[in-house]
Structure 1
Amino acid sequence: MRNAIYLRRASKLIVEPGQHRLPQPYLATALKNIEYLGFTLSQPLMEVVQTMSVEQFLELYHQLVSDLKQLIGGNVNFRPMYPNFPKQVMLASEAELYINAIIHYITLQLNEYDALERIPLLDQVDLKIIDLGSAADFDHTIRNLIGAKGSISETDQADVEWVIANYEDVSSILPDEIPLKENVGFVIGTLLKYEKSNSKLISKYIRTATDVLRLAIALSDGDVSLASISKFRKFKRPERRLLLELLEQCGNRVEDMLRYKHRWIRLGEILHPAEYKHKFHGCKEAFDILRNNKPYETFSSKVEHALHLKDTSLAADILQSRPGEFARRLDHMLRMGEDNISVVEKFAAIAEQVSTPVLLQVRAHFSNRNKGHELRTFFPKGNVAKAVAIQNTLPDINSEACEAIVQTCKNTLIRRFAELPAMGDVYVDASLRQYVVPFSQRSASKALRTIVRGSRLELPEGDTIRFYLWWKEGQVDGTPTGRVDIDLSAVMYDEQWQYVEHISYTNLRSAQYKAAHSGDITSAPHGACEFIDIDIPSVVKYGGRYIVATLNSFTGQAYCNLPECFAGWMMRQHPNSGEIFEPSTVVDRIDVTADTRIAIPIILDVVERKMIWCDLALQHHPNYFNNVEGNQKGMVLMGKAMTTLTKPNLYDLFMLHAEARGRIVQHADDAQTVFSVNEGITPFDISTIMAEFIA
């Protein structure tokens, strides 16, 4: 399992050198077989593998093949409605396509077409390299996850939990500090679950009442982000005592508890602090204030009162004691007050105390503040990947104030980064401007390559993009799913986001473009799949610009209630060569597991040949028929939002580090430290970036 995690996270394997000499045919055969899956081994890994016995090697090889197939989706059987797709769909008559669809809808059976022999794959594929890793590097990867400055995904949490459960000594993976509070709750809760912790260790990380609340939620298997309401379980007496002891040591507990008043009241009913006559007096007092609505002036009430009076100078004075909140309210104060100079100066005075993620976001926000973007886009906190886009009605603010804030943030970050170890000569790839800084991966789906929403990836060579979808019906936690019909669709828009055409179960091929759908399968007791091929030059020729790939749960089940559902895409230059699902050509694969019924995995910009990573849920409860035609308005809004997104990018972040910690060079070959898309620190090294560069 450790190698499965390591392979997925870093494309590395831990292999201990042996005392044998592996016969060359074994290694050659293995390399040829994993080449079919799109992978190969690095020279250092091959050298170590050749010291293994045949038995050791075969065990490693079979597990590796199984893990690789799982990563790309090659572990299942892809049997589309039309086995000779795409040519078969393009040549069939409208009558044949219509009659086949009707028969399938009535019988749920597929027509027995003979699968014609296909010519071998003609596409040239760049193989992904699997490198030699180490136990120390693996532990460092997990420690970076725990010490991330942003939220981590459910997949990340599962990896951390496996390590905690299987390591006798967890000291190698625990950092001195866990900066993000929800990670504190999850990690401490997991340590307690597997009896790997003690009160001294817990006290090191728990500092506020909200930390205690998150821990209680973690112990109840709830949402530690606090974005949704979680039900508390009944705690054992030692657990109740521990939570009360942790709460008692927290300063300013009343105000902190008032932020989540009703949750604390429910938790207090379970903790029973009154049972302890001579202990936890601070806890008793706090719960008394909450339960009986006793007056208590909070910090937020003081700030709101000052803003109500439009006294931004007073509000800034109050906020100086809480620098992070000052930074988040900066735009509001500049919009409503006339004394912008005073507010900016007071922000500069406390900027050193503002966290790096907030400074980066403030810098990006005010760099683009007056550019008049049509939409403002937000990603609400929670475990479902949603985006909210609203009309941008913010008035412009003083440009000199914006520039002063941007410069303050830059200078503060450079001074902060300069305290980190030197990096020598540094190369930063300009294409990193297309990649968003990872601040929150909470709702990120498990994927072959994990990337941040809004990032724009270059399309590989090839004219045809092939989307694929696979799902299965059955039972989840003992509950039958019933018949499950998931539909794969692609909608095409022009430069102004005007609808052009779509490919879906209602329109299996395009009248204008070279595009085809493999056929609508409406039941999946043994698994089912759908494909869409789109010829990119033909879309550009007829004025298309954007292609939105969507998944729709036609039968209404949420994806989280399915045994399995995943989607992906591959680039093909010769789409009628090779198999329909050719593992080596897979570019990305993403698990669809959110509590939603419509998903947008990616958007293509076919003019710039960019893939915009979305991993989004469009609607939780669709108001229209659950197909692509019924959700045009929502898709256009999400499309505009994701293609005009303004967020901090990795180029700016790494350039700040380069300026503070090294000397910038123009070529990667001349650098000791490289930041680029394909070598050195890449956008896919998310845990490293979150732990070591958002410092």
Structure 2
Amino acid sequence: MRNVIYLRRSRKLIVEPGQHLLPPKYIATAMKNIEYLGFTFSEPLMGVLKTLSVEQFTALYEQLVADLKSLVGANVSFKPMYPGFPRQVMLASEAELYINAILHYITLELPEYEALERLPLLDQVDLKIIDLGSVDDFHQSIRSLIQAKVSISDSDKEDIEWMLATCDDPETVLPDEIPLKENVGFVVGTLLKYEKANLKLIEKYIKTATDVLRLAVALSDGDVSLAANTRFRKFKRAERRLLLRLLEQCGSIVEDMLRYKHRWIRLGEILHPAEYPNRFYNCKEAFDILRNNKPYETFGGKVEAALRHKDASLAADLLKNRAGEFARRLDHLLRMEENSSQVVAKFGEVADQVSTPVLLQVMTHFRHRNEKQALRTFFPKGNVAKAVAIANTLPDLDAEACEAIVQTCRSVLINRFSELPALGDVYIDERLRQYVTPFSQRSASKALRTVVRGSRLELPEGETIRFFLWWKEGTVNGQHTGRVDIDLSAVMYDKNWRYVEHISYTNLRSAKYKSAHSGDITSAPHGACEFIDIDIPSIVRYGGRYIVAALHSFTGQAYCDLPECFAGWMMRKHAASGEVFEPSTVVDRLDLAADTQIAIPVILDLAERTVIWCDLALQRHPNYNNNVEGNQKGMVLMGQAMTSLTKPNLYDLFMLHAAARGHLVERADAAQTVFSVNEGVTPFDIGKIMSEFIA
């Protein structure tokens, strides 16, 4: 399992050197075989593989092939409705397509077609290199996740849980401090789950009442972000005493508990603090205040009162005691206060107490504050990748005040980064401007490449993009899904987001735009798939620019309730060569597992030849219907929102680090530290970036 995780996260393998001399034909054959999946071995990895016995190498190779197939989606059988896709769809008459669809809807049987003879794959594929790793490097990658200062994904949590469950001594992996509170609840909960914890080990991580609440949520398999309510399980007496003891040590707890008053009241009904009136006196008193609505003046109440009276100066004075909240309310205060210099000066006094993620976001916000954007886009906290876009009605702010805030944030960040180890000569790739800094990976899907939502990736060479979808119905948690129909669609828009064309189960082809759908399959007892081919030159020639790829659960099941569902895309130079699904041409693949029925994995910008990574899982909404025709208003809104995002980017982040602890050079081969799309620290090294560069 260790190599399964390591391969997915870092494209590396841990292989202990043997004392044999493996015949070269074994390695050559293995490398030729995994080329079909789009991978190859590095020279250091080959060097160690040569020392294995035949039996050791065979075992490693068989597991590796299974893991690689799972990564790219080749572990399942792809049988589209039209096996000669796309040619069979483009050549069939409208009547033939219509009759085939109707018969399938009635019988659920696929039409019988001979698979057309296909040329071997003509595309030259850039192979992904699998490198040699080490135990220390693997442990550090997990430690980096635990130390992340921003939220991590469910996939990250699964990897951490496996590590903590299987390691003999968790202290070899655990850092001295866990900066993100969500991770505190999850990690401590995992240690308790596998009986790897003692009070001395965990109490240093629990510092506030909300930390204890997150721990109780984690032990109840709930959402540690606290974005959603959790049904607390019944705790054993020892667990109740532990939670109360941790809560008691947190000092003044009432105000913190009032933030989540009703959840604490429900938790108190399970913890029974009154059973220990002397041992946990503070806990008993705090629960008494919550349950009986006793008056208690809170910091938040004072700030809200100042804001109601439009007293920005008083609010700023109060917020100086909580710098992070000050930073988040800064725009609001500046809109209230005519003399903005006072608010800016007060923020400057406490800016060094604000966390790095918040400073980066504040700096970017005020750098672009007066730019005229039609929409403001938010990603609400929680485990579902939602996006909310509203009209931008904010009035302009004083330009000097905005610039002063930007410079304050920049100065604090450079001073902070200067305390980290020196980087030496540094090369920074300009293309990193297109990659968003990872601040919230909480709702990120498991994918072949982990990318931050809103990032723009370059399209590889080629003229045809082939989207793919695979899903299966069956039993999940003892409940059968029933018939499952997931629909794949692609909608084309011009540069102004005016509708151009769509390809979906209602419109299988477009001769003008040379695009086609492989056929609508409406049941998947053994798995089903759909494909869409998009011809880039044809769409650009006739004025198209954006393509929104979307998936709809037509039968209404949420993706999290399916045994398996994933989607992705391939770039093809020769669409008619090779198989319909060629693993080596897969560029991206992601699992669909959110509690939603609609997903937008990517948006293509054909004018810039970029892929905008969306990974959005949308809830049902009046603007979102279960087919693409009924979804136009919502699709356009999401498209406009994702293509106009203004978020901190990796280029600016790494430039701050270079200014603080390095010297910029113009060539990568002259640098000791490289930040680039393809080498050194890349946008896909999210764990490393979160723990080491958002410091």
What TM-score, normalized by structure 1, do the two folds share? 0.99
Cα pair 1:387 1:616 within 8 Å, conserved: yes
Distance in 1 of aligned mates of 2:625 and 2:234? 42
The AA in structure 2 aligned to 1:692 is: E
Aligned equivalent of 1:278: 278
Aligned equivalent of 1:241: 241
Q: Which runs of 5+ in 1 are unaligned?
A: none
SS in 2 for 1:88: helix
Q: CA deviation at 1:372?
A: 1.3
Aligned equivalent of 1:43: 43
Q: How does 1:281-680 map to 2 (within 5 A)?
A: 281-621=281-621, 625-680=625-680
Distance in 2 of aligned mates of 1:589 and 1:216? 34
Cα pair 2:277 2:284 within 8 Å, conserved: no
Distance in 1 of aligned mates of 2:259 and 2:294? 15
Q: CA deviation at 1:45?
A: 0.1
Distance in 1 of aligned mates of 2:75 and 2:511? 35
Aligned equivalent of 1:693: 693
Aligned equivalent of 2:13: 13
Q: CA deviation at 1:523?
A: 0.5
- When residues 22 and 610 of structure 1 are mapped into structure 2, their CA distance, relative to the original with a 3 A threshold, is same
Cα pair 2:90 2:511 within 8 Å, conserved: no
Distance in 2 of aligned mates of 1:123 and 1:599? 30
Aligned equivalent of 1:121: 121
Cα pair 1:597 1:621 within 8 Å, conserved: no
Distance in 2 of aligned mates of 1:559 and 1:618? 11
Aligned equivalent of 1:31: 31
Distance in 1 of aligned mates of 2:519 and 2:220? 44
Distance in 1 of aligned mates of 2:170 and 2:39? 32
Q: CA deviation at 1:511?
A: 3.7
Q: CA deviation at 1:396?
A: 0.5
Cα pair 1:434 1:649 within 8 Å, conserved: yes
SS in 1 for 2:612: strand
Q: CA deviation at 1:599?
A: 0.3
SS in 1 for 2:341: helix
The count of residues paired between Structure 1 and Structure 2 equals: 695
Distance in 2 of aligned mates of 1:122 and 1:624? 40
Q: CA deviation at 1:251?
A: 2.6
Aligned equivalent of 1:184: 184
Aligned equivalent of 1:69: 69
Q: CA deviation at 1:278?
A: 2.0
Q: CA deviation at 1:276?
A: 1.2
Q: Deviations over 1:515-556 (max 9, x none)?
A: 000000010000000000011011000000100000011111
SS in 1 for 2:510: coil
Q: Which runs of 5+ in 2 are unaligned?
A: none
Distance in 2 of aligned mates of 1:578 and 1:16? 37
The AA in structure 1 aligned to 2:247 is: L
Aligned equivalent of 1:220: 220
Distance in 2 of aligned mates of 1:484 and 1:123? 34
The AA in structure 1 aligned to 2:478 is: G
SS in 2 for 1:627: coil
Cα pair 2:472 2:528 within 8 Å, conserved: yes
Distance in 2 of aligned mates of 1:180 and 1:252? 21
Cα pair 1:320 1:326 within 8 Å, conserved: yes
Q: CA deviation at 1:621?
A: 5.0
Q: CA deviation at 1:623?
A: 6.0
SS in 2 for 1:578: coil
| Structure 1, 337-346 or 402-411: larger mean CA deviation | 337-346
Distance in 1 of aligned mates of 2:298 and 2:11? 50
- When residues 343 and 398 of structure 1 are mapped into structure 2, their CA distance, relative to the original with a 3 A threshold, is same
Q: Deviations over 1:568-606 (max 9, x none)?
A: 000000000001000000000000010100100000000
Q: Deviations over 1:278-305 (max 9, x none)?
A: 2111111101110110110000111111
Aligned equivalent of 1:251: 251
SS in 1 for 2:632: helix
The AA in structure 2 aligned to 1:504 is: S
SS in 1 for 2:663: strand
SS in 2 for 1:126: coil
The AA in structure 2 aligned to 1:15 is: V
Distance in 1 of aligned mates of 2:623 and 2:348? 47
- When residues 198 and 554 of structure 1 are mapped into structure 2, their CA distance, relative to the original with a 3 A threshold, is same
Cα pair 2:623 2:633 within 8 Å, conserved: no
Distance in 2 of aligned mates of 1:628 and 1:614? 17
Distance in 1 of aligned mates of 2:337 and 2:418? 35
Distance in 2 of aligned mates of 1:661 and 1:280? 48
Q: CA deviation at 1:390?
A: 0.3
Distance in 2 of aligned mates of 1:56 and 1:427? 41
Greater than 6 Å deviation, 4+ residue runs = none
Cα pair 1:37 1:583 within 8 Å, conserved: yes
SS in 2 for 1:534: strand
SS in 2 for 1:500: strand
The AA in structure 2 aligned to 1:412 is: V
Distance in 1 of aligned mates of 2:36 and 2:203? 51
Q: CA deviation at 1:50?
A: 0.5
Aligned equivalent of 1:109: 109
Q: CA deviation at 1:202?
A: 1.1
Cα pair 1:566 1:589 within 8 Å, conserved: yes
Q: CA deviation at 1:625?
A: 4.2
Distance in 1 of aligned mates of 2:119 and 2:61? 28
